[in-house]
Structure 1
Amino acid sequence: MRYAPKYLPRADSARLAAQAVEAQASSLAARVGEPLAAQWRAEMDVIASTTRVPNLLTISLDDAAGAYRGAGHRHHARQDLLVGVAAASPGLVAGPLPAGQWTLTLSAHTLVTPQCDVSIQIGAETASS
């Protein structure tokens, strides 16, 4: 799977992160007091000004027998995953490969850009007789 863009532009990321810091600081002040919340806000403002806010898409896989075969929760915009009889990518389960319709689920955990293009390529190797 590949998707793009991975990140919001820098200015949009900084604005979104600053809004989140402000909302969290207001909530924090109600619990711990304004002085401590202001200190936290000052530290987080530095991080918010330089952070890039990402999109995060992941996939999970169920085999033709309906068994959950795992998920690829990776933060990279390109994810190459493998499921085989004897080996599988981290997060996925190796084992029998039943014939039939498998189910791939695409989950959008964070989608912050107006548009995100996704490409999924599925392939299989079959034993020759």
Structure 2
Amino acid sequence: MTWNRLPTELHLAVARFLPPQDVRALSRTSLASYNLHIPQIFADITITSRSALRSFVTHVPARYGALINRLTVCTKPGERSVVYQVDCTEDLATLLATCSSLRSLSISLAGSLNASTITPVFATLTTVQNFEIGCWGQEETAPV
């Protein structure tokens, strides 16, 4: 029996034991595999920079937001990066608005969020059970 003839349940069982990068590689082998594994690929998303957040919002179809169960976003620049404050409220709000199944949210910010933009989005996150928010900058100049 070949891999393609195995039942869907066995494909999913094997993928559960693979590291995320291998599941992504497996999903690229065929359209059927892609459709089968996309929920696992998007279940746990970590975004590690302001530019990665921008890229995610720009390039990932909004419909995949409904697959995200756990989201971690950090907009803190790296140690060698030039430190400057860039507002990420619009991108964060755009992403969160698509996350209808979100259970865990962790945000570490490089600066403030625009309250009038982000507050209505936070109000829609009714499935969130775990929430962490922090600011790595000066609270006096860039309060969360």
TM-score, scaled to structure 2? 0.29
Q: Which has the higher helix share?
A: 2
Between structures 1 and 2, the one with greater strand share: 1
Larger Rg: 1
Higher relative contact order (CA 8 A, sep 6+): 1
